[in-house]
Chains A and B, each alone.
Chain A
Amino acid sequence: MDANATTPLLPEVLEAMRPYWMEQFGNASSIHQQGQTARTAVDRARETLAEFFNCREAEVVFNSGGTEGDNTAIFGLLRPGDHFITTSIEHSAVLRAADRVAERGVEVTFVAPLANGLIDPEEIRRAMRPETRLISTMLANNETGVLQPVEEIGRIAAEAGAFFHIDAVQGAGKVAFDVRRFGCHLLSISAHKIHGPKGVGALYVRRGTPVEPLLVGGSHERRQRAGTENVPGIVGLGKAVELATASLEDGTLERIAALRDRLEAGILAIPGTGVNGAGAPRTANTTNIRFEQVEGEALVIALDLKGVAVSGGSACHSGSTEPSHVLMAMGLDKNAARASLRFSLLRTAAEADVDHALRVVPQAVEHLRALSPVVAGTAG
């Protein structure tokens, strides 16, 4: 139940990629037929992505994933003296890049969310300055699933003539994309969050957006991203996007939302629990639940040992967890943030998965609470 961390390849994706490892191994830049086969495969994936984003094919840049897309938008547009607006609930791929440009003379404003995890567009408007060059917000928060009002933020950017980047890594396959409706100039996605391969993603770059590439070298991707194309990865991304698009329309989302709601209701039957982000629009697959008087890290381990994989907080360098910066930005204190876990369902989740979780979670919580003087002990 940790689909927001990553997802497995779907068999169709693996099948689509299969020829491009050994038989069709060409370099998409080569003139010969092997090269042309690879080029065609990349171009077909680009068509799929363009349709998915509702943009021109020339506006799709393949890259290594969400971090690269986020970094490209920020480093590629901002120069000393510029003003940059983002939010305090972004992924670290945005937050750390923001810190970096701040060190280099860019003024950065981090807008805090409301208590329910939503960014108030009026706060963005208030933060605007004449020299604001870029606004970057996420479409769906990875920890709470809260869907952000990107269209309104896009209008604010347009009125002021600022560029707008959306980190849509967690939104892909969960809400329909339309970069024109969103009003964004840039939008990042990653394949492995939608049952595609790891290490590949795409950045939408609206025509005419003066983004300086992070990687220079060959003339790949219309000189926007040098480096030999990851042909099997790009093919896999294309297939994953195709399947994600279908799942938006075939009732999958409603099915997952029903499962999530049943899981959430079942867990909320445990006393001393609550949903972080309650009341805000959320992605269908995610719920973030606070368990009072429980050490979240121990609960994650206890659940994992019982076959329920969930996450709490953000992983630090060693693999232990820090309290979630997202939840703390929403106003939770450290202990409450530590006591919160994210359950995120795969598109392929079944009733039995929820049944199992609902057998295991209440037991584990009860066991931990019976043992632990915890929260009082660690306050300080």
Chain B
Amino acid sequence: MTENMTIAVAMSGGVDSSTVAAMLARDGDGASESRNAGDSQNAVVGLTLQLWDQTRLAGKHGIPDAPKAGRCCSIDDVYDARRVAEQLGIPYYVVNQEERFERDVVRPFVDEYLSGRTPIPCSLCNDHIKFDQLLQTARSIGAERIATGHYAVNEYDPARKRWILKRPADLAKDQTYFLFGLTQEQLAHTLFPLGRLTKPEVRAIARQHGLRLAEKPDSQEICFIPGGDYKQFITAYLEEQGEATPDTAGELVAASGEVIGRHEGISKFTVGQRKGLGVASPTPLYVLNIDPASHRVTVGADAELSTQTLRARRLNWISIPELTGTMRVRAKIRHRHEPAWATLEPASAGEVIATFDEPQRAVTPGQSAVFYDGDEVVGGGWIY
């Protein structure tokens, strides 16, 4: 399937995407040895997206001065990616997408928090940058496919005439939750070579290829927020933009409606949060709801945090063309959530309602809900 074409590998400087580059580049070597001269082989080009200048807000509002390696766009990561490309003998380029990233990922991220929601920048980045702009760039330079180090399986089903996205072999590394927004067109041009491997196997392959970064730790935090404190980031970013941080201070209320205190701003809360509420209580209190209009934050007991239904919009369907009736699925409502049985039904235009068999904790506006049928991603949308 991947024969005789140019593949652009999205290289972050981490072990996963470096291993993808090594697998594809060496694939080409193998092909040239085992076939007659004259047979062409895959050409591999490494691309790194420059998304955010890590020095931009450094030192402001408690953001660390020197960003650590292991984040997108740190110079060390570009250096690592370049070294891997050099070792593999593949052409390598850094592509500047800072403006797009700021417009389509960073700004919406900030706005979502200011609106009392809890955003997922990685999904926005996948939808708008990695599988959109990167694919565009890849095709511009003559590549037919892009390959990434995501843990997911992507295959074409001739019966349904659709590209199907599936959970990977290594469920602990499953990244399908962040990939639900991929269109059929994007999936058709994307390879996930790690989908059937486990992380230890990937590290072993990296070692076999002599990649120096085989033991490099995984990155965990949001790549453009060095230090991981999103509140500091929002303050520093708005200040840099010359914008006042909107005053979203308001009342802290119990589920009964009783006012039990005040808070300094809704962007400091996320549904399900327990720490930092600023009120004393004999039993643990959790954020149940954030009302962006009144700035009212409702808190209550753990039991009150669970809900039976969710509504999602800005939907994307993968294994089906459209949701036409009810459907039994397992729904995942945040990255570390075990998918739970639910029944989907279409709601008003472009929206869906999922009713869980068992109530689920902390259904959080701004996160996505991704629906699975067995290992297949049916589709998903954004919770509101």
Contact = CB atoms under 8 A, between A and B. Distances in A.
Among A298, A299, A304, the most chain B Cβ lie within 10 Å of the Cβ of A298
Interface string B14-58: 000000000000000000000000000000010010100000000
Contacts of A372: 136, 140
Contact of A318 (B73, B91, B99): B73
A302 B141 contact: yes
A302 to B, nearest CB: 4
Interface string B126-154: 00000000001101111000000000000
B65 to A, nearest CB: 16
B267 to A, nearest CB: 24
Contact of B78 (A298, A319, A374): A319
A374 B96 CA distance: 14
A367 B137 CA distance: 12
Interface string A287-329: 0000000010111011011000000000011111110000000
A279 interface: no
Contacts of A321: 96
Nearest to B77: A318
B93 A316 contact: no
Interface string B100-139: 1001000000000000000000000000000000001101
B259 interface: no
B277 interface: no
Interface string A244-288: 000000000000000000000000000000000000000000000
Contact of A322 (B78, B95, B96): B96
B99 to A, nearest CB: 6
B99 A317 contact: no
Name A's interface SS: helix
Given A304-B91, A318-B94, A378-B100, A295 B137 contact: yes
B75 interface: yes
Given A374-B136, A378-B100, A318 B142 contact: no
A299 B95 CA distance: 11
A257 to B, nearest CB: 31
B138 to A, nearest CB: 9
Contact of A320 (B94, B100, B103): B94
A298 B96 contact: no
Contacts of B139: 371
A317 to B, nearest CB: 6
A320 B95 contact: yes
B82 interface: yes
B102 to A, nearest CB: 10
Contacts, number: 58
Given A318-B94, A320-B94, A380-B103, A301 B141 contact: yes
B50 A318 contact: yes
Contacts of A320: 48, 50, 94-96
Among B48, B100, B140, the most chain A Cβ lie within 10 Å of the Cβ of B140
Given A378-B99, A378-B100, A319 B82 contact: yes
A301 B90 CA distance: 13
B80 to A, nearest CB: 12
Given A295-B137, A318-B75, A301 B93 contact: yes
Given A295-B140, A301-B141, A367-B140, A316 B91 contact: no
A297 B95 contact: yes
A159 B136 CA distance: 56
A321 B82 CA distance: 16
Nearest to A363: B142
A295 to B, nearest CB: 7
Nearest to A319: B94
Interface string A339-380: 000000000000000000000000000011001101000101
Interface string A123-144: 0000000000000000000000
A270 to B, nearest CB: 16
Contacts of A319: 78, 82, 93-94
A302 B100 CA distance: 21
Nearest to B43: A305
Interface in B62-107: 73, 75, 78, 82, 91, 93-96, 99-100, 103
Contact of A298 (B48, B94, B137): B137
B78 A318 contact: yes
A371 B95 contact: no
A316 B140 contact: no
Contacts of B75: 317-318
Given A302-B140, A319-B78, A368-B140, 11 more contacts: A299-B140, A301-B140, A302-B141, A317-B75, A318-B50, A318-B73, A318-B78, A320-B94, A367-B140, A371-B139, A372-B136
Interface of A: 295, 297-299, 301-302, 304-305, 316-322, 367-368, 371-372, 374, 378, 380
19 contacts: A298-B95, A298-B141, A301-B137, A302-B140, A302-B142, A305-B45, A305-B91, A305-B141, A316-B96, A318-B50, A318-B75, A320-B50, A320-B95, A321-B96, A371-B136, A371-B140, A372-B136, A374-B136, A380-B99
